[in-house]
Amino acid sequence: GAVVSQHPSRVICKSGTSVKIECRSLDFQATTMFWYRQFPKKSLMLMATSNEGSKATYEQGVEKDKFLINHASLTLSTLTVTSAHPEDSSFYICSASARGQGSYEQYFGPGTRLTVT
């Protein structure tokens, strides 16, 4: 099956610093990648949709200058949380959908637990 990895799995950073999270599709080409944020005991909230080679589309209320997304290749997307603050502490999950007509399924990465101190 399609495998998506994320790195790192956990990260602790100090307030004001930036953190980069990588999302990779290991065995398929991901035309579209999605970034979600999940707070404790809450649902997954879509932050942005990323298509290879183009700018990401951000959901309403998500600051594009704070959450920088790059999708430079068909197998890699990165999310950089800039000037992180404690309220950015959350579980960040990426997903990827494969190239192909009628492709509906998204394949999720294992998530990254970000703690900002």
Partner 1 sequence: GENVEQHPSTLSVQEGDSAVIKCTYSDSASNYFPWYKQELGKRPQLIIDIRSNVGEKKDQRIAVTLNKTAKHFSLHITETQPEDSAVYFCAASRTGGGNKLTFGTGTQLKVEL
For residue 47, the minimal CB distance to partner 1 (Å) is: 11
What is the total count of residues that contact partner 1 (CB under 8 A)? 24
Binding mask 4-33 for partner 1 (x = CB under 8 A): ----------------------------x-
| Angle, CA 82 vertex, CA 78 and CA 86 arms, to 5° | 115
- Rounded Cα distance between 109 and 106, Å, is 10
Residue pair 62/81 in contact by the 8 Å Cβ criterion: no
The length of the chain, given as a count of residues = 117
User: Which residues in this chain contact partner 1 in the complex, by CB under 8 A?
Assistant: 32, 34, 42-46, 49, 51, 57, 91, 93, 95, 97, 102-106, 108-111, 113
